[in-house]
Amino acid sequence: MPDLDYALNPYLGCYHACTYCYARLYTRIREVSENWGEVVAVKVNIVEVLKKEAPSKPRGVVGLGTITDAYQPVEATYQLSRRSLEVLLPLGFKVSIQTKNPLVTRDVDILAAYKDRVDVGFTITTLDNKVASFIEPRAPPPSERASALKRLSERGVKTWLFYGPIIPGLNDGGDDVEALLRLAESTRSDFYYDSLHVKPFMSGGHVLAPYAKRATSYDWRSLFNYIESKCKEHNVKCLPGFARNNPSLSIRSFIKPAQS
């Protein structure tokens, strides 16, 4: 994904409850991390902190939603992501958003107004609704994400698509790759991809346990070479995600612990 200078996460925990989500391992509030998908903490003072701290910070790229989705359903009530955009963009910061939720299109007015300073990426692991509902049980259907991606692109907002995690035996087929690349091509979106990163919680009786075991001996290089070749066929800019993109990247954060 795009290189970032700052991380901004208005919420801790995520309603989408994706089975592969690693964020639970990096969430300091135990009630949230141990009840993933059921409890979301809201940084109610985040906008006030931004207003105080952002003007004196070096301008750079702010990643909005680097740990949990900044446009998950609770955003419809608190609007912390939108209000953060209203602080950051006029100050000259660039903002890179990654989400699974079409709710981001609610803010198309400000995104389009500052389209030279924003990009929006949608995580779409597959366009197969059945597979998506298995690994991302409460996330919006992939068809809705695809429609939102198209809407933002049509408004001139820079868009990208994140195909990840790729889970052997679930969403690693040629049909998955082809369908997602057609979507990226039609929306002029960059295409990022990443393998499943096996975590300790994916063992035992976890739904991904058999797939995680397979991932440890999977021929990722052959798959990545195939993806790269298909990207060339579709004339889509194709990049590996996360650490392989920039292993030396360090990210600063504006945000202090939220107050109640």
User: Any idea which architecture 6-250 has in CATH?
Assistant: Alpha-Beta Barrel (3.20)
Whether the pLDDT of residue 256 is over 60: the answer is no
- pLDDT (0 to 100) of residue 3: 85
Over the stretch 143-196, which tens digit does the pLDDT of each residue have?
999 999 999 999 999 999 999 999 999 999 999 999 999 999 999 999 999 999
- Using pLDDT thresholds of 50, 70 and 90, give the confidence band for residue 245: very low
- Which residue ranges make up each domain of the chain? 6-250
Q: 169 exposed, middle or buried (CB, 10 Å; 0-12, 13-18, 19+)?
A: exposed
pTM of the full structure? 0.92
SS3 readout for the chain: CCCCCEEECCEECCCCCCCCCCHHHHCCCHHHHCCCCCCCEECCCHHHHHHHHHHHCCCCEEEECCCCCCCCCCHHHHCHHHHHHHHHHHHCCEEEEEECCHHHHHHHHHHHHCCCCEEEEEECCCCCHHHHHHHCCCCCCHHHHHHHHHHHHHCCCEEEEEEEEECCCCCCCHHHHHHHHHHHHHCCCEEEEEECCCCHHHCCCCCCHHHHHHHCCCCHHHHHHHHHHHHHHHCCCEEECHHHCCCCCCCEECCCCCCC
Over the stretch 45-103, which tens digit does the pLDDT of each residue have?
999 999 999 999 999 999 999 999 999 999 999 999 999 999 999 999 999 999 999 99
